[in-house]
Amino acid sequence: MENEKINPVNEENEEQRQKEARAAEESIAGLKASSMVFGTPGSDGTAVLGEGDRELTRAHFNIVLGLVMLWGFGVTTLICATFGPSLVTTLSVKTILIGYAVLALGGVFITKKSGRPLISFLGYNMVVLPMGFVLCMILNAYSASVIARACAITGLTTIAMTILAVQLPKVFLKIGPALLIALVICAALEGLGLLFGWWKMSFDIPIALIFSGYIGYDFARAQQYPATLDSAIDAACDLYMDVINLLIRLLPLLASKDDD
């Protein structure tokens, strides 16, 4: 009899966590779509050197890009490990999402519009820090084994898509507009689902595929940028968002597979 009283409460709590995770996933996907509006300085291949910027070899450009991405993942991991589920009990979900939206959108704008590496890196961290807190909220709904598998698959997919982008850059550069249209449609439908209470309506599979494509597209596009320190930071910001979005879409897919 005691279990019968506890189970409905547990189910209600689990459903609430899933709703919160879905809202957070939607907000992160929306950030990527919004970032495409801002563009990137020098994306036409013309080097525009701001204060403190400098030209790099293409090899050094890619090394800086990778290091900046690793910085972002390291900070995100540290935030999740430090705060974890306790963050959700300390702050309201609305507070976390509003703070994320303001800081992350501001960070993307600064990163994209600034031609100074130091300012762009500041903007990048304005994306990474709130992203870590939102990810805490999302991970709260999943087991450690699901999270570990999602991270492994995300890492392998990132490597595979990067290699494909190196081999087939023209193919990936052509699919950019199609990826954006598909992302906007899926994000809009998910947003309507949340608005009208159909939060279980999921587009995780197509959105995971979209962001897998975006990893290849953004890496191929980065190779078209002028090889400067600032452009490497800009490209890292795009790829960081792609990888995080892929990760959070794999989580519910792997969790539902475990339930089956």
The per-residue pLDDT for range 85-136, each reduced to its tens digit, is 666 556 667 777 788 888 888 999 999 888 899 999 999 999 999 999 888 8
Average of pLDDT values for 5-34? 60
Rounded CA separation 51/49 (Å): 7
Identify residue 92 by its one-letter amino acid code: S
In the predicted structure, residue 8 carries a pLDDT above the cut 50? no
- Amino acid (1-letter code) at residue 4: E
Q: Where does the pLDDT of residue 1 fall: very low under 50, low under 70, confident under 90, or very high at 90 and above?
A: very low
pLDDT value of position 114: 87
Q: Is pLDDT of 203 > 60?
A: yes
Q: Which residue is it, tokens 């013309």?
A: 46
List pLDDT tens digits, range 38-83.
666 555 555 566 677 889 999 999 999 999 999 999 999 999 888 8
CA angle 240, 117, 244 (to 5 degrees): 5
pLDDT score, position 256: 78
Identify the CA nearest to 131 among candidates 65, 72, 214, 202.
Answer: 72
pLDDT value of residue 197: 64
Nearest to 124 by CA among 107, 143, 137: 107
Q: Which residues contact 166 (CB under 8 A, 6 or more apart)?
A: 219
Q: Which amino acid is at 67?
A: L
* pTM (2 d.p.): 0.85
User: What mean pLDDT do residues 147-166 have?
Assistant: 97
pLDDT category of residue 32 using cuts at 50, 70 and 90: confident
Helices 229-259, 93-113: axis angle to 10 degrees equals: 150
Helices (H), the chain: 2-38, 58-83, 86-90, 93-113, 117-139, 144-167, 169-174, 176-195, 204-222, 229-259
Contact assessment for residue 72 and residue 240, using Cβ atoms and an 8 Å cutoff = yes
**Mean pLDDT calculated for residue range 149-161:** 97
- Structure tokens given for 192: 């309507």
The 10s digit of each residue's pLDDT in 132-154 is 988 888 888 788 999 999 999 99
Residues paired with 228 in a beta bridge: 55
Which of 210, 242, 233, 253 has its CA nearest to residue 61? 233
> Is a pLDDT exceeding 90 seen at residue 192?
no
